[in-house]
Structure 1
């Protein structure tokens, strides 16, 4: 299962461990996206920085579109049309916000960002 990971918040005043985790994921700027294979190690890293990113299972159609925009393993995306969610980036996706695990709904977000 492949996961699309998108950074939704910037990097001011981050703790060193969180900054290092984002560097390992190669997500250095806001609205950057990477596609990774799901592993227990990766899921642990996602939990550590979940307040800065959103992720979910990507389908094959969206993955093909992202591969066209890929450069050095990182995909730069535009901000999403109509925003991230009703309550913004400070609230988890489960409470109608933006950050955290979106499961299949990540594909809708990516379509709005391409």
Structure 2
């Protein structure tokens, strides 16, 4: 399961890349989504690599982000009580484990699939350079957890 965060804005985006970002539901800077690790999503991520960053996320980090930034459709905050009443999961931690394992999707539980995050504390490294070269763009593997915690 990949955690994808949009880093750059819309100015000067080529049309087919803008459509790809729209299909990923990354319409604004600092929006994040969870996507599966399959060939179609991998192609979309490669196409939009100059505007997003992504990596594998673990259940602990995802649970922390969902508890702070998760929203129910309608605008209310995601809570353990909502999950107990409306799903098979008793807590946000259980939901995060199921999401990472690919057993369920956020939209199946009436939870907004897009997480609206803060800009990262201490800022991005460089939004025009890839992560391998010291910037913020592209695939970053396990280091996505550090960025996600800075943005939660």
TM norm structure 2: 0.70
Higher helix share: 2
- Residues 58-106 of structure 1: CA deviation (Å, up to 9, x unaligned): 0111111233323420001111111222xx1101100111100000000
- Residues 21-40 of structure 1: CA deviation (Å, up to 9, x unaligned): 00110000000000111111
Higher strand share: 1
Counterpart of 1:57 in structure 2 is 56
- Helix, strand or coil for the counterpart of 1:54? strand
Structure 2 unpaired stretches of 5+: 72-111
- Of the two, which has the highest radius of gyration? 2
TM norm structure 1: 0.93
**Aligned Cα root-mean-square deviation (Å):** 1.0
Counterpart of 1:70 in structure 2 is 70
Determine the C-alpha separation between the residues in 2 that align with 1:84 and 1:14. 20
- Helix, strand or coil for the counterpart of 1:22? helix
Counterpart of 2:91 in structure 1 is none
Q: By how many angstroms is 1:16 displaced?
A: 1.4
| 2:65 and 2:149 in contact (8 A); partners too | no
Equivalences for residues 19-34 of structure 1 within 5 A? 19-34=18-33
Kindly tell me the number of residue pairs found equivalent between the two proteins.
111
Structure 1 unpaired stretches of 5+: none
